[in-house]
Structure 1
Amino acid sequence: MRKIFSLLVMWLSVGLSVGLLTGCTPEYNWRETMVAEDRAVIMFPSRTQTEQRPIDVEGIQTTFSLTTAAVDQAVFSVGFIPLPETLGQEKSTALVKTVVSALAARAGKQAPENALTGEIFTLETVVANKPSLMMARVVIHRGMLIQVVVSGPKQSLSNENALEFVRSLRLK
């Protein structure tokens, strides 16, 4: 019995040590958050805040909601736009292209082709003389355009944390 207890304590200690060494930092406190009017769930690295404003995109008058969290100089965000039920496939594709192109232009780049199919894309740029990273994904799901974007200087945003955020999007 004592040997079993010792083994359990040893494995628990090893497990805790490995857990602490594999990326748990005080700055990143990952939490699951519902977004896009409960159509998706994503893991944010800190507390969030949500803002809304009316916009016109491709002739569609709608409300843009943006949920964000920041860690150091990195910003993690999910924006979403409810789409009219009558929006056809052609107009949906044009809308995704507009949003993806705007994100890429913000980084001073062209959008990669895979960005138009809902794949994760990464753009590297320089902001305020610092090498910076932007990783994003834009999808349409159940009548909602959802854009997931994380950006920041490479010194405060690792590729691993950016990828963890963008990959954590689960559509419901």
Structure 2
Amino acid sequence: MHIKQRFLVSLSALLLAGCSPTYNWRDYTSADGAFKVLFPAKPATHTRAIDLGGIQVDMTMTAAEVEGSTFAVGTAVAPDAALAQATLPAMRQALLRNIGAGDAGGKNESGTAPAGATLDVDAVGKGNGGPVRLVGRFLAKGTRVYQVVVLGKPGAMPPEQTEQFLSSFKPQ
């Protein structure tokens, strides 16, 4: 009977561990109320000064990692709405450069995003010693700019999880 009890306890523990979701989706509202999004795990936030196409801004990055894929929202405030919109191609290009990927579009001939436009990216490059895929959106609302991205190994980013994250993003 003692062995049978141990087996049942071990089996119960194994079943409970199997029920633990890999993606533990949770509503998140940024501390300043600038956006809402669903993160697949508890996110962490970090702020640092960056250059966005010649404009110095403080960018706050909020991100969570699940099974080697990073789900992140970056936000910054530009001096005015026109400059916010103008920084979108620079944000997109900087991330493509970070993974060594070429630009496959996303801006018009003048090098700026049309007013109200959202720039998308889906590119494969290199990072952390292997191939990485970057899927994301870049948008501006008023003076605030946003980058909403998922970065991970190309085969390890479930499309439904990536789309859930990207489509859940709501600027405020």
Would you call these one fold, judging by a TM-score over 0.5? yes
Scaled by the length of structure 2, the TM-score of the pair is: 0.73
8 A contact 1:120–1:166 mirrored in 2: no
The root-mean-square deviation of aligned C-alpha atoms, in Å, is: 2.4
CA distance in 2, matches of 1:155, 1:88: 37
Percent of aligned positions with the same letter in both sequences?
A: 25
User: Aligned equivalents of 1:134 and 1:147: distance in 2?
Assistant: 12
Q: How many matched pairs?
A: 146
How far apart are the structure 1 equivalents of 2:143 and 2:65? 28
Structure 1 residues 135-144 or 31-40, which shifts more?
31-40
Matched with 2:170 is 170
CA distance in 1, matches of 2:51, 2:125: 28
**Correspondence 1:43 to 2:38:** yes
82, 87, 94: which is aligned to 2:77?
82
2:89 is paired with a residue whose SS is helix
Q: Measure, in 2, the Cα distance between the counterparts of 1:36 and 1:82.
A: 14
- Alpha-carbon deviation of 1:142? 2.8
CA distance in 1, matches of 2:41, 2:103: 28
Report the equivalent of 2:56: 61
1:54-81 deviations in whole A, cap 9, x for unaligned?
Answer: 2333343321111010001111111111
Please list every run of 5 or more consecutive structure 2 residues that lacks an aligned counterpart in the other structure.
Answer: 1-18, 108-112
Deviation at 1:119, TM superposition (A): 4.0
Amino acid at match of 1:99: M
Residue from 104, 120, 142 that aligns with 2:96 = 104
- Indicate if the aligned counterparts of 1:35 and 1:78 stay in contact, CA closer than 8 A: no
Which of 63, 69, 84 does residue 92 from structure 1 map onto? 84
Asked if the contact 1:51–1:66 (Cα under 8 Å) also holds between the matched residues in 2, the reply is yes
Once residues 55 and 154 of structure 2 are traced to their aligned partners in structure 1, the CA distance between those partners, rounded to angstroms, is 35
Q: If the length of structure 1 is used for normalisation, what is the TM-score?
A: 0.73
Contact 1:42–1:170, Cα closer than 8 Å, also in 2: yes
Residue 129 of structure 1: how far off its partner (Å): 6.0
Give the unaligned 5+ runs of structure 1.
1-23
Q: Does 1:153 align with 2:153?
A: yes
Deviation for aligned residue 1:25: 6.7
The amino acid of 1:82's aligned partner reads V
